[in-house]
Amino acid sequence: MALSKTLQRLTQFFLTTSCPLCQRNASQIFCPDCHRQLMECRWPSSNSGHAATLASHRPGANSRDLFIFSWGQYRGPLKQTLALLKYGNQTELGLWLGHQLGHHWNAHGQFKTKMQLPIVVPIPLHEDKLKQRGYNQAALIATGFCRVTGLPMAEHGLVRTKATEAMYGLGVTQRQANVTGAFQVSPTLKARTLKARNRLILLVDDIYTTGSTARAAATTLKNAGYATTGITAMAQAVYSSPPDR
């Protein structure tokens, strides 16, 4: 019995990892304190169970033509976690975040029946950026999301044909120009939906800011004959005033 307990303690010790946010020991992916702080970034829900993330949190009038579903506010530990996923080569964070987004969708999403289930399409990276980074963070989140929701995914449904600039620091007009003509529908998606062209598409990205990227992707899909139901993102930026145009 004593040997068994000793082995159990040793196993727990060696399985303990460092929290990516604070570097303290963590038996799960995050330490309890950082996990709690992350959960505090999640949008609250009303008593009816509907997530308070949608119209009331849209950043600017240009978002009104696109349904937005996000897990939390782009701030603090959630912002830091997404930066580690995007630039820190911590791919395991993508699946974890996708699981969180998937559970949030199951609780508060708009598709409660199996009729017209959307195909999940992550926002793609340009080939050069994909080679540099080694993975698409939106695709990792989408993979975790689909594992939880059961929604079908077309990982390469869209192709990014234009090497766009980093969006950070760009105004809304500059962002829109940056992503205009940046996407095209892949042959993979065309073949998959050949007999069901009215299937809905649900875009997935890591961060939703002004919506320029999502609208550019949705326009490409619309022009190819697809219906985009909206975008779901792990984090959504909220502005105290409309962003610069």
Q: Which of 85, 97, 181 is nearest to 133 (CA)?
A: 85
Q: Quote the CA–CA distance of 93 and 87 in Å, as a whole number.
A: 12
Q: What percent of the chain has pLDDT over 70?
A: 70
Least confident of 9-13, 103-107, 199-203, 210-214: 9-13
Do 120 and 178 share a domain, yes or no?
A: yes
Domain count, the chain: 2
CA angle 210/214/216 to nearest 5° reads: 105
**pLDDT tens-digit readout, 125-183:** 999 999 999 999 999 999 999 999 999 999 999 999 876 655 555 555 655 655 666 89
Do 5 and 118 share a domain, yes or no?
A: no
Q: Which of 225, 223, 243 is nearest to 63 (CA)?
A: 243
pTM for the full predicted model: 0.81
Range of the domain at 107: 50-236
Do 116 and 15 share a domain, yes or no?
A: no
Tally Cβ neighbours within 10 Å of residue 126. 15
Mean pLDDT of 183-205: 82
Do 76 and 188 share a domain, yes or no?
A: yes
Least confident of 15-24, 128-137, 212-221: 15-24
Q: Which of 93, 94, 101, 123 is nearest to 41 (CA)?
A: 101
Q: Quote the CA–CA distance of 8 and 200 in Å, as a whole number.
A: 49
Model confidence at 229, pLDDT cuts 50, 70, 90, reads confident
Q: Quote the CA–CA distance of 160 and 194 in Å, as a whole number.
A: 21
Do 26 and 93 share a domain, yes or no?
A: no
SS3 150: coil
Q: Per the domain annotation, does 193 fall within a domain?
A: yes
